[in-house]
Chain A
């Protein structure tokens, strides 16, 4: 699972005000304009792309706080 796949989903569904190309893997996505509503679009796309399902416990701010946090979450769910 590549960081670039996550970046491209983020580009399409994140509705960020900072271009994804300007973000590091550790940059705070909420500071870049991510909203809780936009995280839903992001999750739907991630579930689709990686064939995973986010459990309720992961539906919080932390899971989507950065590109690397998303990567960790996806990898954890892929097992």
Chain B
């Protein structure tokens, strides 16, 4: 697989140590946008890391983006999640612009201005089904109008631009969706729900009614169904899983330091929890191996550019399995690490505190609810034989 350059990896860790880690507790405590961290990522031009070099971006591939997600996850889960969600939107545009001047121009602008993109996919009334929309693009002269009631838009208030799904027109069925980019100044947000959650508090995923209007050229030239199967679905589950593995790895690192400290205190008798360190590390390795495998398969499909392959049941099932497993394993890993650190891990403020990690960990199964995914897979498995 393609790895990050040593320089970029060190830079991501440095930003993590010097900025994300410094503000992570305050971001968490006040459920606020991690402004300092996102500014540091902007400063390093990382918001356009996935934009192809042809448009002036860094031209990183998915495995490299995923590695950055994992690194950031070590220091601040909310910042890593915002970074991942932004990269998913960048990928949707980078993969599906079809050389349309508006979108290629936007990618260049993204590089220059390091614009942050939020996303509104879910809608009040569709029950969390990404492939259904109630709102529709209403044609109005050369442009369109749109109104969407979104139960959550992560960092909606702090993003520069917004990408959202809607029915192609007011007469289209709920599954005939398009993907639309609205620029700063073209839309208004009216807040209808406040994000005061157990974990990932810095993502500020408040609910909003979005109203906007824009020229028709801002509708991506590919049906959302294709964007979802070729990009959003695999890219999201791979980058999310990667940042979850970063949170898990940080928990394991705290457990390791705890065991080491205890071992130094009494060389003849290591702490009783020491044996669990080996156990938790092997779970972390499983988590990471799952990601590598899914990433390899997805990157292979991207390289082959085989349109139909993305819609094969088997591929969708495996990507869903990655999400289910990663979201369960992060809870497992952080929980085991907490057993190792004991009360020191349970405390909110201690060198070994895992309080934020465990609260973030429980969110993983809920963002695109695992039960929904499991039901979907269970249905597809009636047909898919895997042989």
Contacts and interface: CB of A to CB of B under 8 A. Distances in A.
Nearest to B313: A59
B312 A59 contact: yes
Interface string A19-42: 000000000001111111100100
Chain B, interface residues (CB within 8 Å), range:
20 to 34
Contacts of B380: 36-37, 40, 59
B382 interface: yes
Interface string B303-324: 0000011011110100000000
Given A17-B173, A44-B382, A56 B312 contact: yes
- Residue from B173, B308, B382 with most neighbouring chain A CB atoms (10 Å): B173
A52 to B, nearest CB: 12
A65 to B, nearest CB: 10
A56 B175 contact: no
The contact size tier of chain A is: 20 to 34
A54 interface: yes
Contacts, number: 63
Contacts of A43: 383
Contacts of A37: 376, 379-380
Contacts of A61: 225, 229, 308, 311
Contact of A60 (B225, B313, B387): B313
Given A35-B131, A43-B383, A56-B384, A30 B225 contact: yes
Given A36-B311, A56-B385, 12 more contacts: A16-B173, A35-B175, A36-B316, A37-B379, A44-B382, A44-B383, A56-B313, A56-B384, A56-B387, A59-B313, A59-B380, A62-B311
